[in-house]
Amino acid sequence: MKIRRAVTDDMIDFFELRNAEEVRKLAFNTDIIDLKTHKTWFTNQLNDPKSIMLVGEDRNTMVGQVRFTCLEGNSAEIHTAIFPEFFGQGSGQKIIRMGCQYLFANTTVEEVIAHILMTNTRSKHAFLKAGFGNETIVAFKGTECYRMVLRRKDDGDEPDKNC
């Protein structure tokens, strides 16, 4: 799998991924999103310097997305989804790992935070496999969920730009 920054042409792929039934039912907001709302959201994300939206693709086919929202204090929140036909084949843990590597190499972010619904066992396993830990239970968007963290490894890599 390769990771690259999302571009305007990815808008429809992100729309289809967001509304795929098996992805939607595991999201904090399970509503179907209409195209107009999605277009506005996607354009805002692309233009927001605090948002880093990445595409994971294999032989020019989009497998999924991983997105980071930079927060105060050198931390970022991660969101990810892959197309249901790729579930359960290791693509999730791969996109999470590669996305975090990209983030640590290109920003000053020190820790990545994941919020995972307690019913989302597959996601919890994928984040664990990608190296996330320090699990706690917190309220997030009004729902009790797992909070897991991945910290930048002290490997001497100098970040080359701010988030």
Ligand X SMILES: CC(C)(COP(=O)(O)OP(=O)(O)OC[C@H]1O[C@@H](n2cnc3c(N)ncnc32)[C@H](O)[C@@H]1OP(=O)(O)O)[C@@H](O)C(=O)NCCC(=O)NCCS
Q: Which residue, among 102, 155, 108, 97, has the nearest Cα to 131 in the 3D structure?
A: 97
DSSP 54: E
Taking phi first (over 0 means left), then psi (-120 to 50 degrees means alpha), and beta for anything else, what does residue 145 get? beta
Q: Does 26 bind ligand X (CB under 6 A)?
A: yes
The CA-based dihedral angle spanning residues 65, 25, 22, 148, taken in that order and rounded to the nearest 10 degrees: 50
Contact window for ligand X (CB under 6 A) among 40-48, 100-108, 114-122, 155-163: 114-122
Residue of the chain from 91, 107, 113, 163 that contacts ligand X (CB under 6 A): 91
Size, binding site for ligand X by CB under 6 A: 22
Q: Does 56 bind ligand X (CB under 6 A)?
A: no
Q: Which residues pair with 150 in a beta bridge?
A: 112
**Spatial contact of 148 and 133, defined as CB atoms under 8 Å apart:** yes
Contact window for ligand X (CB under 6 A) among 6-14, 35-43, 76-84, 102-110: 76-84
For residue 89, the minimal CB distance to ligand X (Å) is 6
Q: Does 148 bind ligand X (CB under 6 A)?
A: no
For residue 46, the minimal CB distance to ligand X (Å) is 20
| Interatomic CA distance for residues 112 and 84, integer angstroms | 24
For residue 23, the minimal CB distance to ligand X (Å) is 4
